């Protein structure tokens, strides 16, 4: 539940978690209308936790108005609770971001565990994992473009999730070696995916 006070900067609001579950991720959308009737929409995703009964201040820090504003509207586009339930219209990609990330990690972990059980050499296992995650490029994949979900944005979300995990695996390889990296990946297969479920609201 968003609220604001006169002392808050433009685009700032205090969110209060009035549910009995922790909110672990959320997607917020701001809509600004200036005195000339022009509108601008901006979005932001956060993975910080808001415990039941607690508050968190949210600010659209990426933009400052240059014209006097007539109104500011803040919408909660989507939120994940700690039990993996998603609620909201979900137009801006939070559902896809979280489930793609988990899915890629799970697929890689299951592949590592299966190959390890067959005695496949660690270097070969990691080469196969690379077909799932792609290579750990020197430059991180760009973040998905802000805005409503599109096929292009979904591609960017998947690429970002793959690249982030590939870089994490590469760090483990350089820090601990191939054998221990495969052990780490295979151990993740023992943790089942959260029971993601979506409750769409308008």
Query: How big is the chain by its Cα radius of gyration, in Å?
Result: 20
The model's pTM: 0.84
- What is the pLDDT at residue 6? 47
Average pLDDT over residues 95-109: 96
Residue 191 DSSP class: S
Q: What is the pLDDT of residues 147-196, one digit of tens each?
A: 889 999 999 999 999 999 999 999 999 999 999 999 999 999 999 899 99
Average pLDDT over residues 102-130: 97
Lowest mean pLDDT: which of 52-66, 87-101, 151-165?
Answer: 52-66
Structure-model confidence comparison of residues 70 and 96, the more confident one: 96
Distance of CA 97 to the CA centre of its chain: 4
> Residue 38 burial (CB < 10 Å; 0-12/13-18/19+)?
exposed
2-83 is classed in which CATH architecture? Sandwich (2.60)
Region(s) of the chain under CATH 2.60.40 = 2-83
Q: Report the distance separating Cα 59 and Cα 31, nearest Å.
A: 13
Q: Which two tokens stand for residue 56?
A: 């968190």
């Amino acid at each position: 539940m968003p609220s604001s006070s006169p002392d808050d900067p433009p685009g700032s609001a205090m969110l209060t978690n009035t549910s009995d579950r922790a909110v672990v991720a959320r997607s917020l959308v701001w809509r600004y209308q200036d005195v000339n009737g022009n509108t601008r929409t901006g979005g932001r995703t956060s993975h910080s936790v808001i415990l039941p009964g607690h508050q968190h201040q949210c600010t659209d820090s990426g933009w400052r108005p240059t014209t006097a504003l007539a109104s500011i509207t803040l919408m909660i586009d989507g939120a994940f609770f700690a039990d993996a339930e998603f609620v909201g219209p979900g137009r801006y990609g939070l559902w896809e971001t979280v489930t793609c990330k988990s899915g890629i990690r799970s697929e890689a972990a299951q592949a590592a565990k299966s190959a390890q059980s067959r005695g496949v050499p660690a270097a070969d296992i990691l080469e196969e994992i690379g077909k799932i995650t792609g290579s750990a490029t020197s430059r991180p994949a760009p973040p998905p473009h802000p805005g409503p979900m599109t096929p292009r944005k979904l591609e960017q979300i998947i690429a970002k999730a793959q690249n982030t995990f590939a870089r994490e695996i590469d760090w483990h390889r350089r820090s601990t070696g191939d054998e221990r990296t495969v052990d780490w990946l295979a151990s993740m297969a023992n943790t089942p995916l959260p029971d993601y479920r979506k409750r769409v609201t308008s």
